[in-house]
Amino acid sequence: MKFLIVVPDGSADDPIDSLGGRTPLEAACLPCIDGLAQRGIIGTCRTVPAGISPGSDSANLSVMGYDPRLYLTGRSPLEAGALGIEMKDDDESFRVNFITLEPAASGVYADFSIKDHAAGDLTTEEAGELLEVISRAFATENIKFYLGTQYRECMIVSGRHAECEMTPPHDILDRRLGDYLPRGRDGRFFAAMNEKSYELLKDHPLNKAREARGLNPANGIWIWGQGTRPKLPDFGKKYNVRGSVISAVDLIKGIGMFAGLEIIEVEGATGSIHTNFEGKAAAAIAAYERGQDFVYLHLEGTDECSHQGSLEKKIRCAEYIDQRAVKPVVEYLQSCGDDFKILVVPDHRTPLALRTHTADPVPFVIYDSRNPLAPDSRRQFSERAAAASGLHFDDGYEMTDFFFERKV
């Protein structure tokens, strides 16, 4: 028996007037995934429990079968694990985003806003050059910086755990920074690092070159997502499978690593609409051919398009996921002769109108080759059709337990 979970990150949305009240999933042409839905079951699931921030950390933990109320210790430690950083008990990990700041007429940093939380799809090579500047300015015996993927970097602080509240940068796009600076006992320390980074980076030759090419500069950093080392039960033992994770995102790789799953690196996987869709599909097929029972195939592009506010790109990216990533794997599973089950589910909604995540229920599709249903065109991978089915899980891990037929 083979299992596949496909996560089109942030693809779920709300009705949009310009689409005649449809959502991007309803507007997109998704013949492969909708074909699974028509012969499978559909429903909705709340992947983020009440009282927990609707981040990709809590949502993907949930989809992977872990209750975030029990196992979420922060986002950045999961990313640190994927980078091979060995955290000690007194270490705290922080996400460091390279961002594009929009200066204010007043010239006061608190009046600035974040124009782009991803600094115009900054490359990892560019990020490495800029991170050297940040490290020279801020690294100490107890503060270390580590290069991640593209705009997503990591900072480890040793000695004591910080007391402060931080806000994800994608939650506050185009808003006044002064209203969202780190708060609490240690808030000013981190806020000062954010502010000084602008002076360090705004005139850097790399950013001047990016601006000359019409790209957003990485003219600041934003620190957030702090937490301590997590401890997750072994995924393979829980669901009795040998599994692999395929993602461009360190967060997802980190969850997989702590869960005891194999992490597969795919050349050209970027986490954007320009990712190597075909390479991810080929990696999933190769994993099954090596004897793996399960693949967690995570595709970030739809989420990034939502954060950018691009309706056209979000629809196009969903279609790429359907045809260039999911279709080849489905065709392989259909041809290999083994029974298989497929779950397609976004980790969370990322409405274009908000450009950030929400905790609203997401649609899911489950297809079981052992028991295909009579085709029904009303069953589609969309928010409206899923809600109309009447099937709902209050917690994401319950949906995953159901998918794997786990007896609790």
Domains of the chain, earliest start first: 2-72+231-403 (3.40.720.10), 91-227 (no CATH)
Q: Which residues of 311-348 are buried (b: 16+ CB within 10 A; e: fewer)?
A: bebbbbbbbbbbbbbbbbbbebbeeeeeebbbbbbbbb
Which residue, among 351, 334, 359, 302, has the nearest Cα to 4 in the 3D structure?
334
Average pLDDT over residues 253-280: 95
Angle between helices 277-289 and 327-335 (to 10 degrees): 20
- With a cut of 80, say whether residue 48 has pLDDT above it: yes
Task: Give the CA angle between residues 72, 75, 81 to the nearest 5°.
Answer: 95
- With a cut of 80, say whether residue 140 has pLDDT above it: yes
Q: Is 174 helix (H, G, I), strand (E, B) or coil?
A: coil
Please give the pLDDT value at position 121. Answer: 84
- With a cut of 90, say whether residue 89 has pLDDT above it: no
Average pLDDT over residues 357-368: 98
Tokens of 376: 């029904």
Number of H helices, E strands in the chain: 16, 13
Average pLDDT over residues 101-125: 96
pLDDT digits (tens, 9 = 90+) for 175-225: 999 999 999 999 999 999 999 999 999 999 999 999 999 999 999 999 999
C-alpha span between 321 and 328 (Å, rounded): 10
- With a cut of 90, say whether residue 101 has pLDDT above it: yes
Please give the pLDDT value at position 160. Answer: 79
Tokens 């599909």, located at residue: 281
Please give the pLDDT value at position 345. Answer: 98
394 alpha-carbon distance from chain centroid: 21
235 alpha-carbon distance from chain centroid: 19
Please give the pLDDT value at position 161. Answer: 85
Average pLDDT over residues 56-72: 96
- With a cut of 90, say whether residue 151 has pLDDT above it: yes
pLDDT digits (tens, 9 = 90+) for 388-408: 999 999 999 999 999 999 986
The pLDDT-based confidence of 29 (bands split at 50, 70, 90) is very high
Please give the pLDDT value at position 14. Answer: 98
> Within a 10 A sphere around the Cβ of 174, how many other Cβ atoms?
11
pLDDT digits (tens, 9 = 90+) for 316-362: 999 999 999 999 999 999 999 999 999 999 999 999 999 999 999 99
DSSP 92: E
